[in-house]
Structures are given as structure tokens and as C-alpha cells.
Amino acid sequence: NGHSQPSLVDVAIIGAGPAGCMAADVLSRFSARGLTVRVFDKRSAKLDNGQADGLNSRTLEIFESLGFIENIEKEGSRMSEINFWNPCHETGRLIRTAKIPDTIPGLSRFQQTILHQGRVEANLLEDALKHSNGTIAPERSMLPESLSIDESLVTDHDSHPITLQVRHLSEDESNPDAYKGDEKGVRSGLFRSSLLSAAEEEALYKKGEKAQRVETVKARYLIGCDGAHSWTRRQLGVKMLGDQTNFVWGVLDLVPRTNFPDIRMRCAIHSANAGSIMIIPQERDLVRLYIQLPIQVKPGAYLDKSKVTPDSILDTARKILHPYTLDYEHIDWFTGYHIGQRLTESFGAHNRVFLAGDACHTHSPKAGQGMNTSMQDTWNLCWKLGSVATGLAKPELLQTYSDERQVVAKTLIDFDTKFSKLFSGKPASATDVDEGVDLKEFKDVFATGNLFAAGMSINYADSIVVGKDGSRGAVTSKQHLASKLPVGERFYSAQVVNQASATADELTTRIPFTGAFRLLVFPGDISKPAAKERLQKLADYLDSPESVVSKYTPGDLPRWAVIDPVTIHCAERTEVELYDFPQPSIFHPHNYKRIYCDGPSHHRGDGKAYETYGISKEEGAIVVVRPDQYTGLVVGLEDTDMLDAYFAQFMQPAKDGGYPGAKVTKVLPPDWSKVAH
């Protein structure tokens, strides 16, 4: 039956949605180190429209780190303000009751942006292709059929304990009629919605006559990014726990014709009796409407999908918006969903098979969290997996994936339960304040939830890779040395000035994702002898064969590929020279992006980095930033023993003995006393 010889791969990914595409892109940065990756998706084609569209600030920071934020900013539609519309207590008429900024001002350099999921996936995949030298691209029309794990091999991380059988589908089988849209070209998302049972979704892909070839793939690791009805999750026997409400919502993406004035704003509208709408202005003049439908389903039951059509959704929208009119030039996409909040019992098995994205957590889409959290799951997982699979880090590091992300998923589910209940409820009226939703509370939940919704409230607990308070790992940070950079939270940018070129740069643009840890060295004012001496001592350590850089960097990699020191001093820029800095660990000859100054720039003001980060100019600090841009450790310049202890918990000493100290010849300025006049 077309079975072929097994093929070997380091990491197999099932599903090329946002979680799978992010996994592919992050892992592509390890392909230069020999990591092999295959991505399977049962669909024949990429997503063209619909589905998720909200990118929060944290995701945009990640895209900056990956290097393609400019594409997203060019294509997407930025959101600036949320308007709340509610029934007037006296007349019942819809009135605008409040406005708040959509993203909390000052939180991030990037504000929530709308771009449909298909374009987000495409950007990730193009980037993965580029960084893997053309080797990582999704293999479509591939349906996995069986999964087995040889448990006797799971502790040997060089082995391939996972066996996957994958069937090659024909074009027809992987592009069911449900995908193709109606006679007017309106595409439906119902086939991917929670209105479908797993069995119904599976039935779309019934294998036919032509699907003959079955391939056996043996993998070291497997990531199940196969969405809410995750096949991988079901193979592991892992359950989804949680509840469904009886609320049903419809979604319409359309180019509207309306006299409603806030159609290009994000709006939360509660009508007196007809239900609620959320408006999301999208790219290309499209607008998304989330509309509460006058249908209820019993929890656990499935709705008759024929009741959810573009016309039925539009009809309800008109009633909610009345007396404003609503027509359209064109409808792009529609779907319906049944609100529920569900969380998986476990994020994988044996730290060899991992689940990520909707496979782990599902909830209502209105807070715009699903795509973001899904990508952030594999953003968290894959630098760890890439490091372990290429022998740089110890397998213990993998456990921190589920430890860190399970907490995030639980918080998401709790937030969404509260948020969607307030959104779906009928507003309390002036005469009956005990019944219904308090619209002030709704606005407050929205405003306080904003930090969470922006992806900024994550604070990873102490672990081997978060040296916070030593409760689970071996190291306790000296948090007071960088009091405004909490260990476990995402590292944020401050402007600094490049010592070599005098250009003002955001610090995060200097530490893009490469898989490396960053040692951000803040030596203070190095025009003062004490600070200069302290920096020299650190440099001597970093250049020694015993340092974390020398121990954990294999000799065949560039010296700073694994742990990369970047220095930000606070002396007067013009009072010090590049060649005043110790070589090669602090100033590396011919690499001019190693030394930065905290101070005024010619054109962009003063970033005040020391002040922003709460670092004293006298004491200084070293801030260890993880590859995913979370702060892992804060110590003093003399605390090299703490650096040793931190990295020893999860890094693997290089098999070739590591970097043999300072190999680089120093470049020195001319010795004027010996230059003939």
C-alpha cells in the first residue's frame, strides 16, 4: 500500500497554523547547526482570508526580534482607540459612552495591529525558508495516521523514539468543498469553528481512492500544532477540560456601507435587547463584526450550522446597530462559533512530544488572544528545543516549556471566561440593576485586561532558566541592581547610542533572535578608574577558558553565537574611545555593534537607559536576556560565580571542550611614542 522506507528527522511539526509556522521559523535559526525539521499540514493550500487577525504588542515585539516587523506594519491596520456604545438609560437609544486607548500608552513601541492570519503565517514561513536555506517549508496535503512513542528511548536525546505514519492526500481530498466558498465567492470558516465536532472535521478529509502513498517518519521530537481538534493530543490520550456556555456568535468580514460613525474604530456595542457587536477595522477597507446571535445551544451540544449564514448574521447586526444602517459592498468571509473555555490537562509527553496553540487552549476569539498565545507558545518552546536538539542545552530545559506556558494558558482561560460573559450578557437597565451586565464593570475589565491582552503581564516563575528567588532554581538575582527589569518578565527596549557610529538605536534591535543569550553589561561610567577596572576583571573572566562563553560555545561556532555580551556604558560618549574597552570580549575588533552609550543622541533625544531600567550608574549590573527576550538573571559585574551557577543548570558543556579562550588578535591604536615624526 505505497509504504516506503522510514525517513529520519529531528523535529516533526503537525499543523501549519500560527503555532506551527512560528515553530518552523524559530527552529530555522538552528538549521545552520544541522537541525532538520519537517512540517505537515492536511490542507492543500495556505489560508487566504478570515480566522484570527489581532496581533498584540508582544507578538509585534517578537516579529521585530525575528526581523520582519516592517512587512507587518506596512500591510496591517493599526488600532488606536476603543469606543464603547451602550443604550441610553432614559431612551434606550445607542450612545457612545466612553473612549479608551486600545493599547496602554507607553507599554510597548508597537500597538495592536490587525492583519489576517494567512498573511501572518506567510510572513513566518517566508522567514523560515530564508533562514533554513530553503529547506523548511510546509508539506501540504499530508495527513498523519498513526503515532507511536518508543518509551525505552525517550531519555536518550540522540534517538528517534517517535514513529509517525503520514498519508499523502490528493488535491481533492485535502481541499474539501467546504473550503471553496459559495456562488458569490463568500468563504465560510464554519469548517474550522467550534461548531464542528472533531469527527465532523475529520470526515472532511476522508481518504479516497487516490491517496495511496504512506510515509513512515521517525522523529526525535514532535510538536502538535494541529488546532482545537488536535489529532496529536488525541493520540496522546490527553483530555481537554472546561466548559461551554450556550452563547453563539457569528463573524462577518465585509467592506461596509453604513452611517455608523465609528466603523473605523474598535467598538464594543451593547444594545438594549438585540445583543452585542464588536467592531474591528481590518486592512484593505475590510471591517470585522463579531455579532452575538439570537441562538442558544446547550453546553456539549452542536448547533445546526445551516442557521449561521452571512444573511442571518447581517440581519442580527442590523438590529443591534439600529437606527444606524448597515449594508456592504462585499463580504469576504464569515463563520460562527460556540463560546467555551477549555484547557488541556498536559502540554505533551516525555518532553519529546509537545502540544502548542489551540491544541492546548481554546476560548472565545473576541479578546484577540488565540493566535497570539499560540505563536507565543512555540516562541517559548522552540529556542529551548533548538538548543537541546543541537546539543547546546540540557534536556531538563524542555520541562520549563510546559511549566511556563501552562500558567499562561490558565490565566488566559480565566480572563476569557470573565470577559466573554460580560460581553454576551444583556446590559443591566436603569430599572433593573441587579440583572444583566454592569457596563461600567465591562469597561473596567476591558481596561485592566488590556495589559494582559497586550501580552505584557507574563511573569515566568523561578526555574533553572529564571533566576528569580531561588525557589526552584539555584540562583537568586540581585534584582535591586536593575530594579525596573523584573526577572521573568519580557525585556523591553530603551534607546542607546552606538559608540562607534553615534547613531541612536533601540536596544532590542541589537539583540534580535539568533538563539543566543545576551549578557547586557552595564559597567557604569567607565571614564572612572574603579568602573574601568571592574569591567576589565569581567573581561578577563569572559576571555578565560572557564567562562560561560568559553565553556558552552563549541569551537566551530562564532565566539558569540551562544552567549553574546553587549555593553552599555554611561560615560560621556566623547570622553571614551572604542579602544578603551577590553578586547575581545567587550569590544570585538571590527564588530562595531558591541559598545553602546547611555546618553543624548544628535537627533532622537536621550533614551536614559540606566534610569529606564533602574540601574545605578555607580553600581552597574549584568542583565542576562534569554533568547526569547525574557529577563533571566540580574547580577553585579563581579558576580561571575552566579553566571556560572545560572548557566550550569541548563547548558551543556561543549563536546569539543568549548572555545579555547581569547583566540582573537587584539587591534590596538598606534603607539604614538614609537611613531616617527
231 lies in the site for ligand FAD, by CB under 6 A: yes
Q: Which is nearer to ligand FAD, 450 or 553 (CB)?
A: 450
- CA–CA distance, 79 with 279 (Å, rounded to integer): 11
Candidates 34-42, 72-80, 129-137, 441-449: pick the segment binding ligand FAD (CB under 6 A): 34-42
**369: contact with ligand FAD by CB under 6 A:** yes
Q: Does 27 bind ligand FAD (CB under 6 A)?
A: no
Among residues 363, 358, 317, which one has the least CA distance to residue 337? 363
- State the binding string over 39-68 for ligand FAD (x if CB under 6 A, else -): -xxxx-------xxxx--------------
Between 355 and 526, CB nearer to ligand FAD: 355
Smallest distance, ligand FAD to C-beta of residue 189, A = 6
Which residue lies nearer to ligand FAD by CB, 68 or 191?
Answer: 191
Nearest of 477, 418, 426, 424 to residue 453 by alpha carbon: 418
Residues numbered 90 to 119 that lie near ligand FAD (CB under 6 A) are 117
Residue of 108, 128, 136, 144 that binds ligand FAD (CB under 6 A): 144
Is 18 or 473 the residue whose CB approaches ligand FAD more closely?
A: 18
Residue type, 637: L
When asked if residue 227 is in the footprint of ligand FAD (CB under 6 A), the reply is: yes
Give start and end residues of each alpha helix (H) in 193-303.
198-203, 231-236
What CA–CA distance (Å, rounded) separates 634 from 476? Answer: 9
Contacts 24+ apart (CB under 8 A), 196-203: 196/229, 196/302, 196/305, 197/229, 197/302, 198/229, 198/234, 200/302, 201/229, 202/229, 202/231
* Residue among 215, 226, 404, 628 that touches ligand FAD (CB under 6 A): 226
Distance, in Å, from the CA atom of 532 to the CA atom of 327, rounded to the nearest integer, reads 69
Other C-beta atoms closer than 10 Å to the C-beta of 638 total: 13
**CB nearer to ligand FAD: pick between 251 and 464:** 251
Instruction: Give whichever of 357 and 582 is closer to ligand FAD, judged by the CB atom.
Output: 357
Which residues in the 343-362 window bind ligand FAD by CB under 6 A?
357-359
Q: Which is nearer to ligand FAD, 94 or 382 (CB)?
A: 382
Interface with ligand FAD (CB under 6 A), residue total 37
379-409 per-residue burial string, b: 16 or more CB within 10 A, e: under 16: bbbbbbbbbbbbebbbbebbebbbbbbbebb
Q: How far is the CB of 436 from ligand FAD (least distance, A)?
A: 26
Beta bridge partners of 624: 519, 633
Residue 40 vs 647, nearer CB to ligand FAD: 40
Cα 119 → chain centroid: 15
- Report if residue 374 touches ligand FAD, rule: CB under 6 A: yes
Total number of residues shown for the chain? 677
Report the relative pairing of strands 138-140 and 37-41 from DSSP bridges: parallel
Q: How far is the CB of 185 from ligand FAD (least distance, A)?
A: 19
Distance CA 138, CA 16 (A): 7
Which among 616, 538, 527 is positioned nearest to 580, based on CA atoms?
Answer: 527
Whole-number minimum distance, CB 226 to ligand FAD, in Å? 4
**453 lies in the site for ligand FAD, by CB under 6 A:** no
- Which is it for strands 326-344 and 361-362: parallel, antiparallel or unpaired? antiparallel
Q: 117 or 652, CB closer to ligand FAD?
A: 117
Closest Cα partner for 126 from 25, 41, 35, 37? Answer: 25
Instruction: Give the distance, in angstroms, between the CA of residue 46 and the centroid of all CA atoms in the same chain.
Output: 20
Q: Which of 125, 269, 286, 371 binds ligand FAD (CB under 6 A)?
A: 371
Least spacing, CB of residue 244 vs ligand FAD, in Å: 15
Q: Which is nearer to ligand FAD, 194 or 463 (CB)?
A: 194
| Smallest gap from residue 166 Cβ to ligand FAD (A) | 8
Q: Name the amino acid, one letter, at 267.
A: C
Least separation in angstroms between residue 313's CB and ligand FAD is 12
Nearest distance in Å: CB 275, ligand FAD:
17
Q: Does 143 help bind ligand FAD (rule: CB under 6 A)?
A: yes
Which amino acid is it at 26? V
Task: Pick between residue 357 and residue 607 the one whose CB is nearest to ligand FAD.
Answer: 357
| Choice from 335, 341, 387, 390 touching ligand FAD (CB under 6 A) | 335
Whether cis (ω within 30° of 0) applies to the bond prior to 323 is: yes
Closer to ligand FAD by CB, 413 or 549: give it.
413
* Residue 18 is a binding residue for ligand FAD (CB under 6 A): yes
The percent of the chain in helix, strand and coil, each rounded to the nearest 5, is: 30, 25, 45
Q: Does 225 bind ligand FAD (CB under 6 A)?
A: yes
Q: Which three cell numbers stand for residue 629?
A: 527576550
State the minimum distance, in angstroms, from the CB of residue 496 to ligand FAD: 32
CA distance 466 to 35: 26
Q: Using CB atoms within 10 A of its CB, is residue 44 exposed (0-12), middle (13-18) or buried (19+)?
A: middle
- In 87-230, which ranges are continuous DSSP H helix? 117-131, 171-174, 198-203
Q: What's the min distance (Å) between Cβ of 446 and ligand FAD?
A: 15
Question: How far is residue 21's CA from residue 273's CA, in Å, rounded to a whole number?
Answer: 42
- Whichever of 457 and 536 has its CB closer to ligand FAD, that residue is 457
Given 251, 321, 485, 519, the residue binding ligand FAD (CB under 6 A): 251
- Quick note: the x/- pattern for ligand FAD over 171-200, rule CB under 6 A, is ------------------x---x-------
Among 365, 455, 488, 565, binds ligand FAD (CB under 6 A): 365
> Which of the ranges 89-97, 226-234, 271-279, 346-354 carries the binding residues for ligand FAD, by CB under 6 A?
226-234
Q: Does 372 bind ligand FAD (CB under 6 A)?
A: yes
Q: How many CA atoms lie within 13 A of 272 on its CB side?
A: 15
Closest CA to 54 of 357, 354, 368: 368
For the bound state, the minimum distance from the C-beta of residue 7 to ligand FAD, rounded and expressed in Å, comes to: 17
Residue 415 or 552 with smaller CB distance to ligand FAD: 415
| Contacts to ligand FAD by CB under 6 A | 14-20, 40-43, 51-54, 117, 143-144, 189, 193, 225-227, 231, 251, 335, 337, 357-359, 365, 368-372, 374
